[in-house]
Structure 1
Amino acid sequence: MKKILCILPILIVLQYSYAQEKIPFTTIPDTTIPRRVAILSGATAAMYGTSLIALNAAWYKDYPRSNFHFFNDMNEWNQMDKMGHIFSAYFIGKYSREMWRWSGLPRKKQIWIGGLSGLAYQSVIEVLDGYSSEWGFSWGDMGANAIGSAMLISQELAWNEQRIQIKFSAHPGRYDDPVLKDKTNQLFGTRFLERILKDYNAQTYWLSVNLRSFAPNSNLPRWLNISVGYGADNMFGGTVNWWDDDNGKRYDYTHMGRIRQFYLSPDVDFTRIRTKRKGVKVMFQLLNMLKFPAPTLEIDSKGRLFLHPIYF
């Protein structure tokens, strides 16, 4: 989940490029503006380089390095980590694509440059993982990165818009059992932001479909989406719920069966809410990465059915 930590600096690039424009914010040029291309290219390169250096120092410094190696982690965390990779690649590509609209480059170039940026950026992170003894280069992660970028690129090429968006929500919980509390503190951290980013039990990833875009002649609200979500729970290790401490004592929580969760819920596409305010438009773009809290139907892998009055 550390990849999500790396996508936040793109917002700085977004604000920087907008601040440099002398023409109206809402103006999309018909031809290439070299100055905009230079600004976006330089700022993006600087952001990527700086964030990778910071990640290398902050994330990997506490773990020993090794020779480059591969690691198969496809069976870990009920594939919630792979959902995080899909979301991260999609999110980076989506906002990179939005920035490149303002460059005036031909449409397909904007789409490919913006859409592939998430895959390119996360590929570098996978290489860093390959030199860490704690992880390794994962083809599963790379496949998930490619899916995220492909979802962005394919929709832009087909529809010039994102009718099906990937969204995220989280509800960090408390672990009252003293042993589980210590274990989850080690795995997921103790601070609120750490829990959101690392606790796979607390996360849900959504495919949010805009209904009006597929039925343009209907009377459905432009902003109304329907979302299908995926989550998991009762995971206290990558593949199993038992572990040994430094003294060889075993803690066994296999009685808390690892489960998968599937959700159905209405959602809001903020970008389809009309407004003339520039700042509000940017805010709506950012809000659209999050699933709107709403009544939600849940069914889990044990066949249990739940209705949540409000779920986020």
Structure 2
Amino acid sequence: MPFLSKIFSTRLVIIVVLFCFQTFNSSAQVNPTESDSATTNKRLNKVLIGGSVVYVASMAGFYELWYKDFETTTFHSFNDNSEWLQMDKIGHVGTSYQLSKWGQRVFIWTGLPDRKAAWYGAGVSTLFQTSIEVFDGFSSEWGFSVGDVLSNTAGTGLFLGQELLWEEQRMTFKYSFHNTKYPKYRPSLLGQSQVEKLIKDYNGQTIWLSANIKSFGFEETKIPEWLNLSVGYGAEGMITAK
């Protein structure tokens, strides 16, 4: 099932990218000061060169894994909005948000101002996600999904909008998972190992939009900083896309 392996490998690659962002950010030194332009330029060049290499290698790898065995066609689209009870689309929103967020953190490390780094992070997320959609549009096996693009834009827009409006992330996406009975009916589709189930079994996934209460005008109150109001979306009973 090439479509299923594509979903699994896409998400696995994105998880690896996010992990690299996290590791990079955790090991980064204190941001250079604005006057230290030489350090800023040096770090920015490293990020741009390294990011370009990762991008080209990822796209080449994706082509080898997914596209080379299928006929290349004229650019076309297809409508998959009704599949998986929209869990796939919610996943696109959350993934684009996280890619933008971690991308910004990397560019902040270079010394760029937060707002400029936010634009760069959003650009990285958009480039990565849209490139895959364009590949899909020229493949006979898939097609350009307008629903995916709108979902990607929503996630990136939520991140960037908060940075431009509040200069902080008051709302963020979170992920939770619980094991379900459905993978045993179609293990190749919904996962065999626990790692595969975490990524492939939509039945056990919940995507949360979590808002920090204290940040919405309650900074001087005794409301704890860790208290959030969250709304989640999940679905069950799915052993096929439709």
Q: TM-score, normalised by structure 1?
A: 0.67
Higher share in helix:
2
What residue is the counterpart of 1:229 in the other structure? 232
Pair 1:228–1:5, CA change in 2 (3 A) = same
Pair 1:149–1:237, CA change in 2 (3 A) = same
What residue is the counterpart of 2:161 in the other structure? 154
Pairing of 1:50-199 with structure 2 (within 5 A):
50-60=57-67, 64-67=70-73, 68-175=75-182, 181-182=184-185, 184-199=186-201
Secondary structure of the corresponding residue to residue 165 of structure 1: strand
The alpha carbon displacement at 1:18 in A equals 6.6
- Residues 200 and 233 in structure 1, CA contact (< 8 A), matched pair in contact too: yes
Larger-Rg structure = 1
What residue is the counterpart of 2:33 in the other structure? 29
Pairing of 1:281-296 with structure 2 (within 5 A):
none
Q: TM-score, normalised by structure 2?
A: 0.85
Which has the larger displacement, 84-93 or 8-17? 8-17
Compute the RMSD of aligned alpha carbons.
2.2
- Residues 31 and 111 in structure 2, CA contact (< 8 A), matched pair in contact too: no
Structure 1 segments unaligned to the other structure (5+ residues): 240-312
Identity of matched residues, %: 37
Which has the larger displacement, 26-35 or 104-113? 26-35
- The number of aligned residues is 229
- Residues 13 and 44 in structure 1, CA contact (< 8 A), matched pair in contact too: no
Structure 2 segments unaligned to the other structure (5+ residues): 1-6
**Over residues 125-171 of structure 1, what are the superposed CA-to-partner deviations in whole Å (9 max), with x where a residue is unaligned?**
11122233332110000000000100110111111111100111122
AA in 1 matched with 2:11: I
Pair 1:18–1:225, CA change in 2 (3 A) = closer
What residue is the counterpart of 2:3 in the other structure? none
Which has the larger displacement, 230-239 or 8-17? 8-17
- Residues 17 and 39 in structure 1, CA contact (< 8 A), matched pair in contact too: no
Higher RCO (C-alpha 8 Å, min separation 6): 2
